[in-house]
Structure 1
């Protein structure tokens, strides 16, 4: 395969990438941005996805990056009379889901509208007479429903400038536009010169939230917290609201007014039918509201969509799909039988974000569950997760502000910090203006083979801590070895087979430490080959190499055993050949995470550039996944995790978690559970055959029924892929093929058969 470096813009035509069933999505449907209805369907959006539910049969469908819906940030949605779903985004992108489920992306506004990129937000869609009027931050864009193309754009500012339009409506053959700063404007809909701003006049010069046509009259919501109907140019009050208003919309036979903490539903006579201030047991603010079949559907900022009857009886039913607490996933961990996700975090300088959202867990049989933040109300910025190998019911999670959270069986919670870990335990940073300020910042959780749990502690001299398997704590002072220890912050840590701890730091490169060798320490910084002192991550591979993810590139230590015999270590780069040009792998790129898979290949996350899967020596690119060429919802991959049994590779991003079913699995202890899939291989199948459940480094040969060899390899990890060709030259013919598998010492052997149908 051709080697591809980061600075080449390509789409890898890998066979497995084309198979959507190789990907899974783990999205949240709690953070709702809008709700709409059509016929018997409720549709709701989050910032990153969409779901619809049939109210009659309960059929639920989700639209995410897995099925090609890749929004920037969804701001509004609408389903047309032609059953097209329109999705508006913060950056001007319009995504259209056709009735057959196919997806059309319209970047016309992003590419063609001559206003700053941060002034292209889609505010609202309005349908009239075969056209969709798109209210945006710059004006109005008109889409023709017959061909889904843009007809024209109106800039209606008082001098022809762009103007933030919140909503449009049509009444008595006049089009009305609610603007943020210049009141309500109107023009004759049949006027062929609507693109001329001078054709638009001010209907009302006040400040309005929304305007709709309802029961053959104009109805508006003003920023003065009053609802009005218009009789000609005269306003008549019919309602008030006491919370920040968001939107006014019509649906079925009702008028719905949405505010942060209030929803009002009016009938056709503008009499109040329902009034909702809150949803019991779900303290939250409202983000969307609509009606269908005498039911009100409410979108919330953190708890999904609820259904309640009209008039309201204080009965609320959640209709959102199950999922994690939120899409922003900071750290992810595959434990023995679950997937754990934390939603906190810190920025590049390790400043905590102070988020407090709880923990999401997923189990195949029971689906998603959450460990509510009420169990540890003061703990924020949750990050790295560790399962105690000596007691798998215990999980430890770093809070980058409050200490170390210990969870037992998901029911008992203990916060470990400077108050209860003793003189050799965790420490709070010292803040001169307020000596009583407490902020305890552990990171880098990792367990050694004796069961001791190691971690770093930022902003203190004794920056390396260990919770011994017997429950005692110990600290190691790094201040004599690294500069300005009380200002140092740490990335992750690895422990090699000799017990050496390799720590990524913010200011001092990589710090290597081993207490078994008289507290020996080596610092690897820019003087020892690093391109920058800021090391974001480190990873040990199966050959004893340390891969160093730097703020400005990649480096490796060729043999970590050298730490034992040498007093200085030098990091080197990896040079790859691209045609006639030799280039440094990941030159000057910010590396966020590195994960070594069962085959010793590396998954590398590059800031805002997706993920690379490179061979064990970095010379070949096996996969390159970005938002543009794969179901990744974002190019900002914050964490990578692998289920070493199944080979599933998880990517935690700022816009949701997805996984790719890889083939790099951990080697088994024997060949008893070796299997082949798919089997048989049918004509329509275009992927690879996988021989899984293998021991590491088995010898594998595939022959036809007559004994002619067509494939041979040595496994790396527990899975081998075969592209069903004879040594890559041509596709093998239909027939039965024999797979002979033997361990390196020939003590374990097995034979499998596979049928190929062309």
Structure 2
């Protein structure tokens, strides 16, 4: 009986710990930047993360912003004899994963090395006698492995100037540095004045890419696609390769020559053991290579990390953890039972990037899958996603050049464009210098309660389109609404309770339209209170206010009902009070996205400034998430989405997607699924208690076991939070607390318990 109890207790504690971790990561591990070998462990990096595989246990471990790995852009990777993993970045940042898995951020080069910020890229790490020699864009910095601090920095240009050092090695007590423009330089390692550039001499003045010490000899990779061994100071060629050379790496028994389309492996006698030209079935170039236990590990630019044998057998095993196609996530959509990501983009003027990428799909039970670009007619610049509420097997995806994709069951794909949607359907822009150029640019995708799908078609007169059930199209002409319609581009669309469509535009502010009122249009522009004509996003909240995010700030229209009775609308700002100072909320800030949650609070993404979660009226900040104070991998949040059942808030950024388990859920139909988490509340927990699965506008009371009331509120949406205080005055004591939930009419009631351990 005791064993059964302990088993239940352990399971319960595990569940509680999982609930207390409010952040999740949805990262890609396909875009490899480097590969290195450790003690029975292989490591690989992407621009934004690191993962490792233990070859003894086959365990995969990932390091992302969720466990505090927040790189700028990873350029190189190295595992030391002390089992520290050094991670180099484009901006000079060094991140160290210690043997116990903890992460140390070392901004020493960024803060202490007096060179321009754009000259601090880290190219390589080399270990010798307890020192790490860091090859950088400006020279060499030496780290002491015992204290992980900078010892010295060497500027070795011929006149003491900054010099891009690609790699260093030590041979016969001489330190050698491969430079980008001044050949290979060397100096005596014992020289106490290595910081003096005059102590360095030119060993070879050619154009070299890489230099290593292997089997007691110097081996170099030259830009002429040749490999050399040095006999004294004389280079002797022993092999050639047919693509752009990248780097040499060594193990105790093998030399690896990594080029972008070839991996050559040599033994200690420099005899060729294998050549890899391509991963079977994949067209991609190589970005990293390493050897461990007679296995070759190859990183690719878009398809992950692979393991193969030496000699090569054309058998490859994918090692990368499951994830989306890439980290750059442009638009995100939580469908009924999946998460969909697109990876295209457009700039501020809505110019497409023309990238051909597939669609990433996450299902909780089966993990990640993708719809490849070939199955999507190679449509480019994929963006906004919509699930058809009337037929949830159908998804629609905007391509900002190719038209509109209709995807059924993730397999049956149709590309809708100017060729197959009729005279009232989608249109291509007209480009007079080249009438053969075709570009169909829809955006906005929003479905009304009748199942009609609304979107905006850029650069055409009949810009407002609607796809009705039965595949019938209708268009509305904006020629008499705005003067420059053939140059206009559009952001998102939202639809209010009256069926009014609110359309964000690039040149004309917000356009309101309702076909039920004699095709009525109202334009809200600079003369109507907007701080900028470029409106990036619009959102109708649960009280009928229209929130407008512009290039230079936030505005609201107090009631969407005014559209029906008035012919002109004025937008106003939100003024917040900070001490004695009143100021405008998000003054002059570029608003990238606004999402209204189940409690009518707003999640607002600012350009390069993270995310704000503000109260229903905007005057109270509930959360502020940035890269600096949260697991956000980037402050450039491109899209926000919420699972209104679980309250999970998704943030799509240019460096990966993460989510926060919020409390703003949609109200349930009844109280049958009410639950409390975390429960019990353990001493080290500092967050709030969530009572979830509620109906909207139910009464929630919490009392101690003796019936003393400590908290009471009315739900807004499906979740209520309690900070475990007695009406905000003091933390309640350890014990059991009762949660009483009742609907306004008393027809629905339920009772739950919370255990608090202080």
Quickly name the TM-score band, shorter chain normalised.
Answer: over 0.9
Partners of 2:187 and 2:220 in 1: CA distance: 17
Whether 1:68 aligns to 2:68 is: yes
Partners of 1:280 and 1:420 in 2: CA distance: 38
Q: Which residue of 1 aligns with 2:315?
A: 315
Partners of 1:77 and 1:711 in 2: CA distance: 52
Is this contact kept in 1: 2:19–2:678, CA < 8 A? no
Partners of 1:39 and 1:293 in 2: CA distance: 10
Distance 1:368 1:603, change over 3 A: same
Q: Which residue of 2 aligns with 1:8?
A: none
Shift of residue 114, structure 1, vs aligned partner:
2.3
Shift of residue 356, structure 1, vs aligned partner:
1.0
Matched ranges for 1:135-534 at <5 A: 135-534=135-534
Report runs of 4+ in structure 1 exceeding 4 Å deviation. 16-20
Instruction: Give the match's secondary structure for 1:110.
Output: helix
Aligned residues: 743
Instruction: Give the match's secondary structure for 1:564.
Output: helix
Mean Cα deviation higher: 298-307 or 96-105 = 96-105
Is this contact kept in 2: 1:17–1:630, CA < 8 A? no
Is this contact kept in 2: 1:184–1:203, CA < 8 A? yes
Partners of 1:395 and 1:678 in 2: CA distance: 35
Whether 1:538 aligns to 2:527 is: no
Is this contact kept in 2: 1:19–1:687, CA < 8 A? no
Partners of 2:123 and 2:756 in 1: CA distance: 54
Instruction: Give the match's secondary structure for 1:493.
Output: strand
Q: Which residue of 1 aligns with 2:6?
A: none
Instruction: Give the match's secondary structure for 1:726.
Output: coil
Shift of residue 705, structure 1, vs aligned partner:
2.1
Q: Which residue of 1 aligns with 2:572?
A: 572
Q: Which residue of 1 aligns with 2:41?
A: 41
Shift of residue 749, structure 1, vs aligned partner:
1.5
Instruction: Give the match's secondary structure for 1:483.
Output: coil
Shift of residue 603, structure 1, vs aligned partner:
0.3
Partners of 2:85 and 2:300 in 1: CA distance: 21
Partners of 1:123 and 1:493 in 2: CA distance: 46
Q: Which residue of 1 aligns with 2:13?
A: none
Q: Which residue of 2 aligns with 1:12?
A: none
Partners of 2:491 and 2:292 in 1: CA distance: 51
Q: Which residue of 2 aligns with 1:628?
A: 628
Instruction: Give the match's secondary structure for 1:100.
Output: coil
Partners of 1:384 and 1:17 in 2: CA distance: 35
Is this contact kept in 1: 2:75–2:89, CA < 8 A? yes
Partners of 1:357 and 1:521 in 2: CA distance: 37
Distance 1:717 1:443, change over 3 A: same
Q: Which residue of 2 aligns with 1:56?
A: 56
Instruction: Give the match's secondary structure for 2:700.
Output: strand
Is this contact kept in 1: 2:126–2:168, CA < 8 A? yes
Shift of residue 684, structure 1, vs aligned partner:
3.4
CA RMSD for the aligned pairs? Answer: 1.3
**Runs of at least 5 residues in structure 1 that lack an aligned partner in the other structure:** 1-15
Distance 1:278 1:200, change over 3 A: same
Shift of residue 55, structure 1, vs aligned partner:
1.1
Matched ranges for 1:584-623 at <5 A: 584-623=584-623
Partners of 2:622 and 2:398 in 1: CA distance: 33
Partners of 1:181 and 1:19 in 2: CA distance: 54
Partners of 1:97 and 1:54 in 2: CA distance: 15
Partners of 1:681 and 1:649 in 2: CA distance: 23
Is this contact kept in 1: 2:491–2:537, CA < 8 A? yes
Instruction: Give the match's secondary structure for 2:21.
Output: helix
Partners of 2:401 and 2:562 in 1: CA distance: 36
Shift of residue 33, structure 1, vs aligned partner:
0.2
Partners of 1:452 and 1:158 in 2: CA distance: 70
Q: Which residue of 2 aligns with 1:95?
A: 95
- Cα distance per residue 1:169-197 (max 9 Å; x no partner): 00000000000000000000000000000
Partners of 1:113 and 1:555 in 2: CA distance: 44
**Runs of at least 5 residues in structure 2 that lack an aligned partner in the other structure:** 1-15
Partners of 1:221 and 1:752 in 2: CA distance: 69
Partners of 2:691 and 2:288 in 1: CA distance: 49
Is this contact kept in 2: 1:20–1:66, CA < 8 A? no
Shift of residue 682, structure 1, vs aligned partner:
3.0
- Cα distance per residue 1:426-459 (max 9 Å; x no partner): 0000001011210000000000000000000000
Instruction: Give the match's secondary structure for 2:503.
Output: strand
If asked which structure has higher relative contact order (CA below 8 Å, sep 6+), I would say 1
Is this contact kept in 1: 2:20–2:678, CA < 8 A? no
Partners of 1:568 and 1:62 in 2: CA distance: 54
Instruction: Give the match's secondary structure for 1:198.
Output: helix
Is this contact kept in 1: 2:19–2:677, CA < 8 A? no
Distance 1:71 1:381, change over 3 A: same
Partners of 1:757 and 1:660 in 2: CA distance: 25
Q: Which residue of 1 aligns with 2:23?
A: 23
Is this contact kept in 2: 1:626–1:632, CA < 8 A? yes
Shift of residue 106, structure 1, vs aligned partner:
1.2
Is this contact kept in 2: 1:47–1:74, CA < 8 A? yes
Partners of 2:497 and 2:662 in 1: CA distance: 27
Taking structure 2 as the reference length, the TM-score comes to 0.97
Shift of residue 236, structure 1, vs aligned partner:
1.1
Partners of 1:640 and 1:434 in 2: CA distance: 38
Q: Which residue of 2 aligns with 1:663?
A: 663
Q: Which residue of 2 aligns with 1:120?
A: 120
Instruction: Give the match's secondary structure for 1:435.
Output: coil
